[in-house]
């Protein structure tokens, strides 16, 4: 059973990759089960298991007696599908990263405002030792991700943290690329220090403003980077 599960996972992942890269485009029909089984050198039950999960998660629509149809994942998708896209990291395009950064611009200022409003002392504590932050990409990426999740956990809305948890495997590689540029680290360190000053005053509205300003600036820097 475990071997079969692992094999069907691989089939599922491969088909998701082909959908994300456009090899299987929205509205197209998947090959028949028999053909897929031959392509992946597996049994038809294994293919069927993978297809059932793809249908459950919204990637395809099954048709009785006919090949399944590939769905438009942008218009027909859901959070489960979003997690699948993130976990399929080799298929995450720069365009998709920009979408996520735009989402971050919308979410982050709100949960930072909530954190300062309800847990001022804890926010200050999270930012209290910035002088110990080592100036390298890996350290900044890990610190920033931990900081984002801690801020989200201090918000009374638990959904923020649930959303961030979905990106655990994806955020660090992306952030390491971003923080590999010294100017980006300097911008973030300035932001952390400004946020600390604001948190000490307990000014949640100003914390929200500075967070939004820096998130938007980070989005611009990502668009303009050269790597």
Contact predicate 42/72, CB 8 Å? no
Give domain 2-80's CATH number out of 3.40.1170.60, 3.30.70.870, 1.10.260.40, 1.10.10.10: 1.10.10.10
Q: Over the stretch 22-69, which tens digit does the pLDDT of each residue have?
A: 899 999 999 999 999 999 999 999 999 999 999 988 899 998 888 899
d(C-alpha 21, C-alpha 225), whole Å: 23
With 0-12 / 13-18 / 19 or more C-beta atoms within 10 angstroms meaning exposed / middle / buried, residue 84 is buried
pLDDT score of 131 more than 90: yes
Q: Over the stretch 153-210, which tens digit does the pLDDT of each residue have?
A: 999 999 999 889 888 878 888 889 889 999 999 999 999 999 999 999 999 999 999 9
DSSP lists the bridge partners of residue 61 as 69
Residue 66: what are its φ and ψ, rounded to 5°? -135, 160
Sketch the domain layout of the chain as residue ranges.
2-80, 92-224
pLDDT score of 1 more than 50: no
Q: What are the structure tokens assigned to 196, written together?
A: 């600390």
**CATH architecture of the domain formed by 92-224:** Up-down Bundle (1.20)
d(C-alpha 156, C-alpha 170), whole Å: 25
Q: What are the structure tokens assigned to 209, written together?
A: 């403003």
d(C-alpha 128, C-alpha 49), whole Å: 51
Concatenating the DSSP letter of every residue in 79-98 gives HHHHHHHHHSGGG--HHHHH
Q: Tell me the angle at which helices 168-179 and 204-224 cross, rounded to the nearest 10 degrees.
A: 70
Confidence class for position 226, pLDDT limits 50, 70, 90: low
- Sign of the dihedral defined by the CA atoms of residues 6, 21, 98, 181, in that order: positive
């Amino acid at each position: 059973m475990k071997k079969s599960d692992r094999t069907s996972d691989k089939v599922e992942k491969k088909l998701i990759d082909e959908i994300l890269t456009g090899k299987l485009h929205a509205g197209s029909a998947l090959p028949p089960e028999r053909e897929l089984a031959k392509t992946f050198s597996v049994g038809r039950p294994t293919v069927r298991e993978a297809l059932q999960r793809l249908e459950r998660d919204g990637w395809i629509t099954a048709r009785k007696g006919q090949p399944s149809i590939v769905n438009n994942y942008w218009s027909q998708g859901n959070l489960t599908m979003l997690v699948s896209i993130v976990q399929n990291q080799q298929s995450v395009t720069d365009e998709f990263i920009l979408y996520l950064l735009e989402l971050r611009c919308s979410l982050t200022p709100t949960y930072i405002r909530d954190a300062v409003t309800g847990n001022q002392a804890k926010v200050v504590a999270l930012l209290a030792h910035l002088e110990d932050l080592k100036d390298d990409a890996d350290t900044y990426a890990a610190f920033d991700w931990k900081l984002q999740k801690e801020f989200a956990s201090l918000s009374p809305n638990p959904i923020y943290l649930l959303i961030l948890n979905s990106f655990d495997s994806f955020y660090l590689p992306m952030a390491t690329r971003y923080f590999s540029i010294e100017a980006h680290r300097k911008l973030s360190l300035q932001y952390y220090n400004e946020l600390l000053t604001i948190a000490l005053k307990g000014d949640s509205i100003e914390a929200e403003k500075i967070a939004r300003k820096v998130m938007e600036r980070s989005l611009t820097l990502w668009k303009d980077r050269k790597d």
